[in-house]
């Protein structure tokens, strides 16, 4: 931390923290609205994610806060069990994450098929779009994704209602300003986020024309937004429904966090993520969010990528962004109350659309054939039609099919040997997601400098989860200017990794 406070590094982290703060503010409030809770709940999570998780994080450049990926499941919790149930659920989920980090199971979350993860995110994106579409009209989302989808035409035909039409216009101002800025912004202002521009534009339009649209409601004091657990907390923690939901939250939040951390690692050449430390840090954050009555948190890729692109060098940027949110909410709550709800919905509609990454499923199909694409599609459909956990479990179940032809020879032997100034890593057997944590740990432990020879001559099989990890590792190492030679690769493996 002292190193982060020195000279040039401090200046880069300071400016990066402001960029992340500007990205985080509208997202924290918008995700809270999408979760069916007051906007200040998302701001509290953003503050805790910045200041507290930033201090303990195992991924120095990752930013934590409320995530769109959990908005759907939180909405269901609040609708079915009430807002008071969210605190005990997060306390349990946070405790599970802390224990999982201490037990060093963080690396296993990387073994989840990328087809499952991206299918889950795509399903969440669809649910956010069809839910927030109704908020664009100053209406409330319905009880399920299918109901929201079916009701969408009715909202369009109801535009004869003047107030609904006005709110929709404000939402469109947000969307067009956001997309227009991202497409045409000058290079000198590339770090100014489109979401902020969209929200500011819509807020100014609503203010100067005194439009009759619903606006964000925040308390005079951020302290008033903190809701401590009610009496009978222990009894609630023992409730089977609370425990089951907490396990689901812990699993999904951990998977999203650690996969986001892996993506952040691919964006820079600095310190790599300590997955177990990051998992425990997230657990501490969710424990505190539970006691504060806030939203759950994960590591979030949009804010993290903004952090890296803005030139952050250490965790100081993440910590400072939490202080900026705290200062803004404490000193300028009246300004937040001018923001139209439809403006936040507009930001989330764009966020949801971007979660449905068709390019990723095309990539999986092109390199690995139809099975990963089927897993992606099945996960997406089940998330939309049933619930988040069911969709993920169906995806994981389908990804096991890739193991069946190789069930008798699933072991992977990894041997490392010196070859003069180079290091040779020889793989023998089957490289599947079952062996991914060990293989990943071995690759990350190799010297940062020098030639690496990857000998796959005796590799009988590699599944798409392991192949994606291997491809990303080779790409990152070569991107850092360090050579990697592939020995013995033929056919599809050479196409994937070479």
pLDDT at 225: 84
> Pick from 25, 23, 16, 32: which is nearest to 296 by CA?
32
**172-181 per-position pLDDT tens digit:** 999 999 999 9
| Average of per-residue pLDDT across 378-390 | 88
pLDDT at 8: 56
pLDDT at 2: 46
* CATH 3.30.750.24 residue ranges for the chain: 412-497
- Mean pLDDT in the chain? 88
**Could you give the angle at the alpha carbon of 239 between the alpha carbons of 233 and 240, nearest 5°?**
150
What helix, strand, coil percent values describe the chain, rounded to 5?
70, 10, 25
pLDDT at 494: 73
> Distance (Å, rounded) from C-alpha 79 to C-alpha 118?
26
- Let me know if 165 is exposed, middle or buried by CB neighbors in 10 A (0-12, 13-18, 19+): middle
Q: What percent of the chain has pLDDT over 70?
A: 97
**114-167 per-position pLDDT tens digit:** 898 888 888 888 988 998 999 999 998 887 778 888 888 888 887 778 889 999
**Could you give the angle at the alpha carbon of 119 between the alpha carbons of 117 and 121, nearest 5°?**
70
Q: What is the DSSP letter of 448?
A: S
**95-123 per-position pLDDT tens digit:** 999 999 999 988 888 788 889 888 888 88
pLDDT at 67: 87
3-state secondary structure of 456: strand
Residue carrying structure tokens 């937040």: 336
Is the model's pLDDT at 45 over the cut of 70? yes
How far, CA to CA in Å, does 395 sit from each of 106, 119, 257, 400?
20, 8, 18, 9
| Average of per-residue pLDDT across 176-204 | 92
pLDDT band at 3 (very low <50, low <70, confident <90, very high): low
pLDDT at 323: 96
pTM for this entry: 0.83
> Pick from 457, 453, 452, 443: which is nearest to 491 by CA?
457
pLDDT at 498: 63
**223-262 per-position pLDDT tens digit:** 888 988 887 888 888 889 899 999 999 998 998 898 788 7
pLDDT at 197: 93
Q: What are phi and psi of 308, to 5 degrees?
A: -65, -45
**CATH 3.30.750.24 for the 412-497 domain, yes or no:** yes
Q: What percent of the chain has pLDDT over 90?
A: 44
> Pick from 292, 288, 297: which is nearest to 260 by CA?
297
pLDDT band at 305 (very low <50, low <70, confident <90, very high): confident
Cβ atoms of 487 and 456 closer than 8 Å:
yes
Is the model's pLDDT at 361 over the cut of 80? yes
> Distance (Å, rounded) from C-alpha 189 to C-alpha 196?
13
Q: What is the DSSP letter of 144?
A: S
């Amino acid at each position: 931390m002292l190193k982060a406070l020195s000279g040039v590094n401090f200046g880069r982290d300071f400016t990066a923290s402001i960029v992340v703060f500007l990205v985080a503010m509208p997202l924290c409030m918008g995700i809270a609205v999408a979760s069916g809770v007051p906007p200040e709940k998302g701001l509290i999570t953003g503050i805790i994610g910045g200041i507290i998780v930033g201090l303990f994080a195992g991924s120095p450049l990752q930013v934590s806060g409320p995530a769109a990926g959990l908005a759907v499941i939180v909405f269901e919790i609040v609708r079915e069990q009430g807002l008071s149930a969210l605190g005990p659920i997060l306390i349990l989920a946070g405790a599970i994450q802390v224990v999982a980090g201490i037990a060093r199971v963080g690396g296993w979350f990387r073994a989840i098929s990328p087809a499952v993860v991206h299918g889950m995110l795509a399903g969440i994106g669809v649910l956010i779009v069809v839910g927030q579409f109704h908020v664009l009209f100053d209406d409330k989302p319905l009880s399920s994704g299918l109901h929201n989808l079916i009701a969408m035409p009715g909202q369009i035909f109801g535009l004869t209602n003047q107030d609904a039409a006005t709110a929709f216009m404000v939402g469109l101002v947000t969307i067009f300003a956001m997309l227009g800025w991202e497409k045409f912004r000058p290079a000198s202002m590339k770090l100014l986020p489109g979401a902020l521009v969209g929200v500011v534009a819509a807020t100014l339009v609503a203010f100067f024309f005194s439009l009759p649209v619903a606006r964000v409601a925040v308390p005079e004091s951020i302290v008033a937004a903190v809701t401590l657990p009610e009496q009978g907390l222990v009894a609630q923690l023992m409730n089977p429904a609370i425990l089951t939901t907490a396990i689901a939250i812990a699993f999904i939040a951990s998977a999203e966090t650690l996969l986001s951390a892996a993506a952040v690692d691919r964006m820079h050449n600095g310190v790599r993520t300590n997955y177990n430390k990051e998992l425990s840090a997230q657990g501490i954050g969710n424990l505190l969010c539970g006691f504060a009555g806030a939203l759950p948190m994960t590591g979030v890729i949009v804010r993290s990528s903004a952090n890296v692109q803005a030139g952050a060098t250490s965790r100081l940027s993440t910590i400072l962004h939490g202080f900026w949110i705290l200062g803004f909410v404490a000193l300028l709550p009246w300004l937040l109350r001018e923001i139209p709800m439809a403006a936040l919905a507009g930001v989330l509609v764009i966020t949801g659309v971007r979660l449905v990454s068709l390019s990723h499923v095309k990539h999986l199909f092109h390199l690995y054939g139809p099975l990963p694409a089927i897993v992606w599609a099945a996960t997406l459909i089940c998330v939309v039609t049933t619930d988040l956990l069911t969709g993920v479990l169906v995806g994981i179940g389908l990804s096991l099919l890739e193991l069946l032809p190789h069930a008798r020879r699933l072991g992977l032997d990894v041997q490392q040997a010196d070859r003069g100034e180079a290091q040779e890593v020889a793989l023998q057997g089957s490289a599947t997601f079952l062996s991914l944590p060990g293989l990943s740990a071995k690759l990350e432990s190799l010297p940062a400098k020098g030639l690496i020879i990857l000998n796959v001559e005796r590799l009988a099989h590699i599944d798409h989860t392991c192949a994606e990890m291997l491809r990303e590792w080779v790409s990152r190492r070569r991107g850092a200017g360090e050579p990697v030679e592939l020995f013995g690769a033929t056919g599809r493996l050479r196409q994937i990794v070479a």
